Structures are given as structure tokens and as C-alpha cells.
């Protein structure tokens, strides 16, 4: 869950309206196939739900997140688990973990090779890296609609405010191999994702894309988001819920 330096994460909104992030991560835990007493690092742990699932599987889990708000919420929910406020780019673990796990986090990191190097160094020999992140084309319809609003308002959008890195599987696998990983799985797939209720898209934009509106007034932002909703409603609003156009990458790799 990595974003700009200012901690813009609302942990209560995240738990209340965006629990799907952790729910979709349950399949990734199955892919990780954790063994009893393994030591596992959860990168971008958010409010701790998947770290807690790992804990229930009798592994020693350490959860890290760049957001202090998220880590405070995780620690309050699961006081028996070790959570730390750490940016993945600042990791200094050396061969400590049997596995590194990351769900819906690494697309926030716009220095991907450095992140992968830090992950690689933290793994013990033979350790595995299992991750899922936004892939090429993720939320393309939503971000295209937002960018259309910037043009309509006559506002120059600063590229550095785009908060994500959405690679292709070829791009990401190549980076992993350059770092030293042996990539054993790389899968790109569509995952249409329901957003709760009539306010679902607006809540999603506020939660995950808020940094894109850093240069506009709150009044202009409100108008732009309303226009995005109106533009996308015919193709994205189904049976009372918004359906976001998620595209994901899932990777598994080992450190030899």
C-alpha cells in the first residue's frame, strides 16, 4: 500500500469499504502455501488481515507498511503480530525470511528494481517470493476518465502525481531475473472488482487515487469526480454496484 510521503491512507475507510483487497488476497496465501514455523515477511500489510491469516497458519509473520495509519490499525486489531512502519525501499533484512509475500502493494512502488533487490536480499537461500500487484491496463477506464476531466478543466496534470506502476508480465519478470530470482510463475489476468454501493467509485477514487488531485481545489475535485461517475456509469455500474476494471499480475519466484 505505498503512496506519496504524506500519509494519505484512511485505515477506517480502508477496512470499511475496501475489504475486498484482503479478501482477494486469500488465494495468494494458498499459492504461498506457508509451512508451520516458517518466517514470512508481508510487504504492504495494510490493516493486517492477511498477516493474521498467516499467523493462524502457525508461521512467524512480520508485517510492514509505509503507512503509519495502516500499521497502527493493524497493531490494534492483531496485537500478537509484529507490525512495523517501513518502506520496502528501506528494507535492510539480510537472508532472514523463508518467504516474502505481498498483495496489492508493489504497484505503489515506482522504483521496482530497487524494491525487488531489497526483497531478494531479505530472503534466505531457497526462499520464495509470492506477490500480486496491478498489471498493465489496471483501472485503465477509470484513470482515462480522470485524465479526460483534467483536460476538460484545462488543468495540466503532473505525471509524477500518477501514483502507480503497472508493468506487463514481461517487464516485471525481466526485472526479477535481473535481480537474481528464478521466476516460476508469471500470470496476467482480468479481475472485475465490485466496489460497494452507489458511492463505490467515488470512495475508491478518494482512497486510492486522491493524490492525482493534489493540484486542484476541493470544489474542482468534487466536480471532476462527479463527471467521472457520469461518464463511466453506463459501462461500470451494474445492479447497484460499481465494477472496477482491475487487471492483476501474479508472480512466484525463488532465490537460489
In the prediction, which pLDDT does 202 show? 96
- Ramachandran region of residue 123, left (φ > 0), alpha (ψ -120 to 50) or beta? beta
Closest CA to 89 of 48, 133, 119: 119
CATH of range 11-139+163-195+245-254; options 3.40.50.280, 3.10.150.10, 3.40.50.300, 3.40.50.150? 3.40.50.150
Spatial separation of the C-alpha atoms in residues 90 and 114, rounded to whole Å: 9
> Quick one: what percent of the chain has pLDDT higher than 70?
91
* Average of per-residue pLDDT values in the chain: 92
Handedness of CA 193, 198, 200, 201 (dihedral sign): positive
Q: In this structure, what C-alpha cell is assigned to residue 143? A: 484513470
Name the pLDDT band for 6 (thresholds 50, 70, 90): low
Q: Centre a 10 Å sphere on the Cβ of residue 201 and count the other Cβ atoms it contains.
A: 23
Spatial separation of the C-alpha atoms in residues 3 and 1, rounded to whole Å: 7
Name the pLDDT band for 22 (thresholds 50, 70, 90): low
User: In this structure, are residues 44 and 88 in contact, taking their beta carbons and an 8 Å threshold?
Assistant: yes
Q: What is the pLDDT of residues 181-236, one digit of tens each?
A: 999 999 999 999 999 889 999 999 998 999 999 999 999 999 999 999 999 999 99
Q: What is the pLDDT of residues 48-82, one digit of tens each?
A: 999 999 999 999 999 999 999 999 999 999 999 99
Strands 97-103 and 39-43, how do they pair? parallel
Outline where DSSP puts E strands in the chain: 39-43, 60-65, 82-85, 97-103, 123-134, 182-195, 237-238, 241-254
Please count the residues of the chain. 256
> Is 1's pLDDT higher than 50?
no
In the prediction, which pLDDT does 147 show? 98
Query: What's the CA angle centered on 12, arms 10 and 17, to 5 degrees?
Result: 95
> Is 104's pLDDT higher than 80?
yes
Strands 97-103 and 82-85, how do they pair? unpaired
User: In this structure, are residues 111 and 89 in contact, taking their beta carbons and an 8 Å threshold?
Assistant: yes
Helix (H) or strand (E) holding 171: helix 169-179
- CA 76 to the chain's CA centroid: 21
Q: In this structure, what C-alpha cell is assigned to residue 4? A: 506519496
Kindly state the greatest CA–CA separation across the chain.
57
Amino acid at each position: 500500500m505505498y503512496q506519496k510521503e504524506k500519509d494519505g491512507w484512511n485505515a477506517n475507510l480502508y477496512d470499511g469499504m475496501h475489504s475486498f483487497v484482503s479478501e482477494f488476497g486469500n488465494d495468494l496465501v494458498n499459492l504461498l502455501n506457508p509451512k508451520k514455523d516458517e518466517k514470512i515477511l508481508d510487504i504492504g500489510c495494510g490493516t493486517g488481515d492477511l498477516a493474521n491469516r498467516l499467523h493462524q497458519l502457525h508461521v512467524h509473520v512480520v508485517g510492514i507498511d509505509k503507512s503509519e495509519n495502516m500499521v497502527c490499525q493493524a497493531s490494534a486489531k492483531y496485537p500478537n503480530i509484529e507490525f512495523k512502519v517501513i518502506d520496502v525501499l528501506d528494507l535492510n533484512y539480510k537472508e532472514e525470511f523463508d518467504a516474502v509475500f505481498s498483495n496489492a502493494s508493489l504497484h505503489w512502488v515506482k522504483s521496482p528494481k530497487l524494491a525487488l533487490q531489497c526483497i531478494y536480499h531479505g530472503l534466505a537461500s531457497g526462499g520464495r517470493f509470492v506477490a500480486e500487484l496491478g498489471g498493465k491496463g489496471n483501472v485503465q477506464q477509470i484513470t482515462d476518465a480522470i485524465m479526460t476531466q483534467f483536460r476538460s478543466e484545462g488543468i495540466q496534470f503532473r505525471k509524477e502525481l500518477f501514483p502507480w506502476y503497472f508493468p506487463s508480465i514481461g517487464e516485471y519478470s525481466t526485472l526479477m531475473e535481473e535481480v537474481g530470482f528464478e521466476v516460476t510463475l508469471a500470470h496476467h489476468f482480468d479481475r472485475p472488482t465490485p466496489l460497494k454501493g452507489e458511492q463505490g467509485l467515488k470512495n475508491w477514487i478518494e482512497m486510492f487515487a486522491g493524490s492525482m488531485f493534489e493540484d486542484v481545489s476541493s470544489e474542482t475535485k468534487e466536480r471532476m469526480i462527479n463527471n467521472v461517475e457520469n461518464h463511466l456509469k453506463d459501462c461500470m455500474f451494474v445492479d447497484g454496484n460499481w465494477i472496477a476494471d482491475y487487471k492483476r499480475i501474479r508472480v512466484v519466484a525463488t532465490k537460489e
